[in-house]
């Protein structure tokens, strides 16, 4: 029995595909420091489980397809902190940011349509795009520019009759770049000129450093019809396993279309929505400690790596990733070697090869993505392991 | 800004689309008995929440894409009750039966491919098929045959070069029919002859009456390569809001393909999986009481409706639905009239129009689907309301 072409050809996650090698290393007794995956070690706030434990309904019945109203109201209050006004009809709760991206793709584009994305980008966009039959058209952001948005001329050169949207992620995964209001306004003007949607993945909005403030596309006046924001509690409240996200727009047709897609899968998980209400009800200073912790880790990772002048990186402005250029030929060979052959005092480090974050062939081969989601002392050791490995690696 | 064609044209759920009228009736003070939706009123077993309350992990992190191993092991023990042997690698946990159907569709078929389904069928298959770019090709089952499978010649007449699978639902939604081992063996032989997959939606497997036993396609020897079973805890444990389902197959390529689709959306919701473990750990006699309750309700609904000889129905063998032929021209007009105009002692009843369960144009117009998911006294009143309404309706 032959399975479908799409099942044969769907891309394996570059973030997860080396997992078998890591497991083998652990079986040999080697400690593996995971810098490869954005799984924070920060505790999920207790308010999340406390809210669920108080759940009293005797029948766990289907909820509304667009999500629990109480969760939407809690989100609306959260966004008021940023002076962003939303209405319940501007929000559909999704099963994770993943589903939110699929909803956004499906509502703006038909099979064969194109979406322009600044690369490097979160690799899973490719998976969702291929499932929705869309083509991702990359414009390349440069490390030297701190991975800020390429000039508009580059976006313009990628336009075709099938272009339907520009997808932006800020604070960015995998680069940590936080786009300025000015560059967002410019890309907004570009979208207006060419009648495109703007999809903004803002799941890392709470994680900005050195006093930098995240500017949301929801704050850009005059683009209410074009902006669709993808959101999630996974990183915000360290609740990746909850699978609670949201898609938000002030375009009524967009929200009606998304609601129909949402009805097709009946509803998002109920209890995890209840937990999310508890998290969103926390006072906003909850994030102060989390942000300080990530900033400390970022500083450690950058400080250690910069002691090797052949490691090229920009200090990230947000999120919890660094895209680092290393003195290597091929990130995947290096990542495999780290797991298969390298060890120092029976310890090694796992990284995500950079190539998987680029669509343009050949780009990112000498880069790796590093996530600073482990505690300071371990992170410092992991960074030093990486330097020791670079000294030894012949690739 | 124009949204996509697919967002404009996706079918609204025929089960949910009259909800606004029901809400309006309730606002007018009319009691609405819901026979339109398969939302059981049976309590979710307390073991579900008890298991979640005991969850102790401090970080609700990403789980495995294919689901928690502990849940798979609990399912394996549950299936042993039916003498069905499964391995953890035969199971991928899905976010509801909905996602399980999408996974099954995506792994067997590419855009433009066809799947043969006996109609009437669960309307959401159409939504998933259109999202996956597939065409559902119906063969019509007849009320006079108790909605059992049409002759194989009818299936054969629907074959094309794009046919990839036959999809069966047993016990059936919306007809309540439980296919016999003989008809499943015949369709299995048909699948082998024409090199097709068999997708079996068995989410109602626990609900069979009068001592009838459900026969699973997983029990059919020689079809291990072809059979893909869609499963869910939604009805089994009255936990529709949990969104925990599964897709099961002994075909390794199929499971590898599905695992890649599962990786693309990272993981299913964690806490609801933990709750499902608690439910699956219940002794199997938990179902005795549930089954007796549904059988009692079925008997009440059939007894009352049969007092009108112009109502044509077969006593269903399983699930908790009846597909009834009524002395009306158009089920949707009737359903709207019930909500907009009819009342008896300020009470009315909501039904799902039959046409939405058929793909062949014009079929099912004089049918409605009735779900017997409300308690006995209310159900008896609802059935009597339907008879009173039929006497008054001029459609």
A4-23 residue pLDDT tens: 998 998 877 767 778 889 99
Length of chain B: 395
The nearest CA of chain B is from the CA of A303 a distance in Å of 28
Closest CA of chain B from A321, distance in Å: 17
Q: Give pLDDT, residue A119.
A: 97
CA atoms of B30 and B48, how far apart (whole Å)? 34
Q: Is the model's pLDDT at A99 over the cut of 90? A: yes
Confidence bin at B395 (pLDDT 50/70/90): low
Give the number of other Cβ atoms within 10 Å of residue A251's Cβ.
21
Cross-strand pairs, B245: B94, B232
Q: How many CB atoms lie within 10 A of CB B330?
A: 15
Q: How far is B128 from chain A (nearest CA, A)?
A: 7
**Residue A11: closest CA among chain B residues belongs to which residue?**
B260
Residues A277/A246, Cβ–Cβ less than 8 Å: no
Q: To the nearest whole angstrom, how far is the Cα of B193 from the nearest Cα of chain A?
A: 12
B96 vs A contacts (CB less than 8 Å): 265-266
How much is the pLDDT for B144? 85
* Cα–Cα distance for residue pair A367/A312, rounded to 1 Å: 9
Percentage of residues in chain A having pLDDT higher than 70? 99
Residue of B nearest to A68 (CA): B241
Three-class SS of A209-258: CCCCCCCCHHHCCCCCCCEEEEEECCCCCCCHHHCCEEEEECCHHHHHHH
Strands in A308-387 per DSSP E: 321-325, 347-350, 352-353, 367-371
Give the residue carrying structure tokens 């112009």.
B310
Helix pair angle (A270-280, A69-80), 10° resolution = 30
Contact predicate B132/B111, CB 8 Å:
yes
- Contact state of A270 with B225 under an 8 Å Cβ cutoff: no
**A125-135 average pLDDT score:** 90
Share of chain B above pLDDT 70, in %: 99
Token pair 């994305």 in the structure block, residue: A117
Residue B45: what pLDDT? 97
Residues of A in contact with B261 (CB under 8 A): 7, 10, 131
Nearest CA in chain A to B112: A4
* Closest by CA position to A174, among listed A335, A355, A387, A51: A355
| B184-194 average pLDDT score | 97
d(CA A214, CA A284): 15
Q: Which of A100, A108, A144, A142 is nearest to A124 (CA)?
A: A100
Of B60, B98, B275, the CB nearest to A265: B98
Q: Which residue of A has its CA nearest to B39?
A: A61
pLDDT, average across residues A149-175: 97
Chain-centroid distance of CA B62 in Å reads: 29
Assess whether pLDDT exceeds 90 at residue A360. yes
The torsion angles phi and psi of B145, rounded to 5 degrees, stand at -90, 15
Q: What is the pTM of this model?
A: 0.95
Q: Is B241's CB within 8 Å of A270's CB?
A: yes
- Chain B residue numbers touching A52 (CB-CB < 8 A): 52, 271
Q: What is the DSSP letter of B40?
A: -
Q: What are the beta bridge partners of residue B199?
A: B167, B228
CA distance A11 to chain B (A): 8
B67-85 average pLDDT score: 97
Both tokens of B323, joined, read 């597909």
Q: Decide if A264 and B10 are in contact by the 8 Å CB cutoff.
A: yes
Q: B358: which 2 tokens? A: 């058929």
- The Cα of B118 is separated from the nearest Cα of chain A by a number of Å equal to 20
Q: Do A58 and B39 touch (CB under 8 A)?
A: no
Name the class of domain A5-43+286-392. alpha beta
How many percent of chain B have pLDDT more than 90? 90
Sort out which chain A residues have CB atoms less than 8 A from B267's CB and list them. Answer: 240-241, 243
Residue keyed to tokens 């709760």 = A93
On the CB side of B70, CA atoms within 13 Å amount to 13
Closest by Cβ to A60, choosing from B6, B197, B239: B239
What the block records as the tokens of A248 is 């938000």
Could you give the CA distance from residue B241 to residue A59 in angstroms, rounded to a whole number?
Answer: 9
Distance from the Cα of residue B46 to its chain's centroid:
24
Tell which of B48, B251, B266 to mutate to test the A interface (max A CBs under 10 Å): B266
Number of CB atoms found within 10 A of residue B57's CB: 13
* Rounded Cα distance, B265 and B258, in Å: 11
> How far is residue A56 from each of residues A51, A150, A217, B44, B272, measured CA to CA in Å?
10, 52, 38, 11, 15
What CATH number does the domain located at B5-43+287-392 have? 3.90.1150.10
Instruction: Give the residue among A356, A297, A380 at the shortest CA–CA distance from A40.
Output: A297
**pLDDT, tens digit (0-9, with 9 covering 90-100), for B336-348:** 999 999 999 999 9
Complex ipTM, two decimals?
0.94
Torsion of CA B122, B123, B126, B131, to 10 degrees: -100
CA angle B132, B137, B141 (to 5 degrees): 130
- List CB contacts (< 8 A) between A68 and chain B: none
Q: H or E segment at A74?
A: helix A69-80
> Minimal CA–CA distance to B61: which of A11, A240, A392, A290?
A240
User: B269 vs A55: CB contact, 8 Å cut-off?
Assistant: no
Distance of residue A307 Cα from the nearest chain B Cα, in angstroms: 33
Structure tokens at A251: 């375009």
Determine how many CB atoms are found less than 10 A away from the CB of residue A380.
16
Strand partners, A114: A135, A163
The DSSP line for B256-323 is HHHHHHHHHT----HHHHHHHHHHHTS-TTHHHHHHHHHHHHHHHHHHHHTTSTT-B-PPPSBTTEEE
B257 closest CB neighbour out of A8, A111, A254:
A8
Is the pLDDT confidence value at B171 over 90?
yes
Under DSSP, is residue A358 helix (H, G, I), strand (E, B) or coil?
A: coil
Q: Which of A264, A270, A375 to mutate to probe the B interface, most B CBs <10 Å?
A: A264
Q: How many CA atoms lie within 13 A of A12 on its CB side?
A: 12
Between B106, B243, B271, which is nearest A268 by CB?
B243
Interface test with A, best of B8, B11, B50, B62 (most A CBs within 10 A): B62
User: In the prediction, which pLDDT does A13 show?
Assistant: 73
Task: Look at B253 and A12 and tell me if their CB atoms are within 8 Å.
Answer: no
Contact assessment for residue B239 and residue B276, using Cβ atoms and an 8 Å cutoff: yes
Please give the Cα distance from A70 to A281 (Å, whole number).
Answer: 11
Q: In this predicted model, what pLDDT tens digit does every residue of A46-96 receive, in sequence order?
A: 999 999 999 999 999 999 999 999 999 999 999 999 999 999 999 999 999
Q: What is the pLDDT of residue A9?
A: 87
Q: Do A59 and B42 touch (CB under 8 A)?
A: yes
CA distance B247 to chain A (A): 15
Predicted confidence band of residue B116 (pLDDT cuts 50, 70, 90)? very high
Burial class of residue A345 (count of CB atoms within 10 Å of its CB; 0-12, 13-18, 19+):
exposed
How many Cα atoms are found within 13 Å in the side-chain-facing hemisphere of A386?
Answer: 34
Distance CA(A112)–CA(A162), nearest Å, equals 7
**Total residue count of chain A as it appears in this document:** 395
B263–A13 CB contact, under 8 Å: yes
- Residue among B188, B132, B137, B185 at smallest CA distance from B159: B137
Contact B131 A264 (CB under 8 A): yes
Give the residue from B59, B60, B93, B247 with the most A CB atoms within 10 Å of its CB, the best one to mutate. Answer: B60
CA distance B263 to chain A (A): 7
Question: Quick one: pLDDT band at residue A395, thresholds 50, 70, 90?
Answer: low
* Residue B151: both structure tokens together: 């002759």
Comparing A5-43+286-392 with A46-280, is the CATH topology the same? no
Where does the pLDDT of residue A378 fall: very low under 50, low under 70, confident under 90, or very high at 90 and above? Answer: very high
- What per-residue confidence (pLDDT) applies to B16? 72
User: Tens of pLDDT along B138-148?
Assistant: 999 998 899 99
**A314: Cβ–Cβ under 8 A, 6 or more apart, which residues?**
A143, A146, A147, A175, A176, A177
- Judge whether residue A311 has pLDDT over 70: yes
Looking from the CA of B275 toward its CB, the CA atoms found within 13 Å total 30
- Cβ proximity of B181 and B165 under 8 Å: no
The chain B residue lying nearest A191, using CA atoms, is: B1
Q: How far apart are the C-alpha atoms of B215 and B202, rounded to whole Å?
A: 9
Which residue of B5, B6, B271 is in closest CB contact with A271?
B271
Q: Where are the domains of chain B?
A: 5-43+287-392, 46-280
CATH (residue range A46-280)? 3.40.640.10
Q: How far apart are CA A13 and CA B123, in angstroms?
A: 33
A-chain CB neighbours of B40 within 8 Å are 59
Count CB-CB contacts under 10 A for residue B158: 15
C-beta atoms of A269 and B269 within 8 A: yes
Q: Is A201 helix (H, G, I), strand (E, B) or coil?
A: strand
Distance between CA atoms of residues B368 and B350, nearest Å: 10
Residue A180 has pLDDT above 90, yes or no: yes
Tokens 């990733």 correspond to what residue? A321
Averaged pLDDT for residues A266-292 = 96
Q: Do B44 and A62 touch (CB under 8 A)?
A: no
Rounded distance, CA B345 to CA B381, Å?
A: 11
User: Token pair for residue B178?
Assistant: 């439980």
Across B316-329, average pLDDT: 96
Å between B17 CA and nearest CA of chain A: 10
- For residue B39, what pLDDT is reported? 87
Average pLDDT of the residues of chain B: 95
């Amino acid at each position: 029995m032959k399975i479908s072409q799409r099942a044969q050809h769907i891309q394996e996650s570059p973030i997860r595909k080396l997992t078998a090698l890591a497991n083998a290393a652990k079986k040999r007794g080697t400690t593996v420091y995971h810098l490869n995956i954005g799984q924070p070690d920060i505790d999920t706030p207790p308010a999340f489980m406390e809210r669920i434990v108080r759940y009293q309904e005797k029948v766990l019945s289907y909820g509304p397809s667009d999500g629990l109203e109480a969760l939407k109201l809690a989100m609306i209050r959260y966004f008021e902190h940023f002076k962003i006004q939303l209405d319940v009809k501007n929000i559909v709760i999704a099963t994770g940011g993943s589903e939110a991206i699929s909803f956004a793709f499906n509502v703006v584009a038909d099979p064969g349509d194109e979406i322009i994305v600044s690369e490097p980008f979160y690799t899973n966009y490719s998976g969702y795009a291929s499932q929705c039959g869309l083509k991702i058209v990359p414009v390349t952001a440069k490390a030297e520019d701190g991975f800020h948005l390429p000039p508009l001329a580059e976006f313009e050169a990628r336009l075709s009759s099938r272009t339907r949207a520009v997808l932006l992620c800020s604070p960015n995964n995998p680069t940590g770049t936080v786009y300025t209001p000015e560059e967002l306004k410019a890309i907004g003007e570009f979208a207006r000129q060419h009648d495109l949607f703007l999809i903004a993945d803002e799941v890392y909005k709470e994680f900005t450093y050195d006093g930098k403030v995240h500017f949301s596309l929801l704050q850009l006046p005059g683009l209410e019809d074009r902006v669709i924001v993808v959101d999630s509690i996974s990183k915000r409240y360290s609740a990746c396993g909850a699978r609670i996200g949201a898609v938000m727009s002030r375009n009524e047709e967009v929200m009606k279309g998304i609601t129909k897609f949402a009805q097709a899968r009946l509803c998002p998980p109920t209890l995890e929505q209840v937990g999310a209400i508890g998290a969103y009800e926390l006072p906003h200073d909850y994030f102060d400690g989390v942000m300080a912790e990530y900033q400390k880790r970022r500083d450690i990772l950058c400080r250690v790596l910069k002691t090797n002048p052949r490691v090229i990186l920009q200090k990230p402005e947000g999120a919890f990733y660094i895209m680092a250029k290393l003195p290597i030929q091929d990130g995947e060979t290096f990542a495999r070697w780290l797991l298969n052959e390298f060890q120092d005092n029976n310890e090694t480090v796992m990284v995500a090869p950079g190539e998987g974050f680029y669509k343009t062939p050949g780009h990112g081969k000498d880069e790796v993505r590093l996530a600073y989601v482990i505690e300071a002392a371990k992170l410092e050791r992991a960074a030093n392991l990486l330097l020791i490995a670079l000294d030894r690696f012949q690739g």
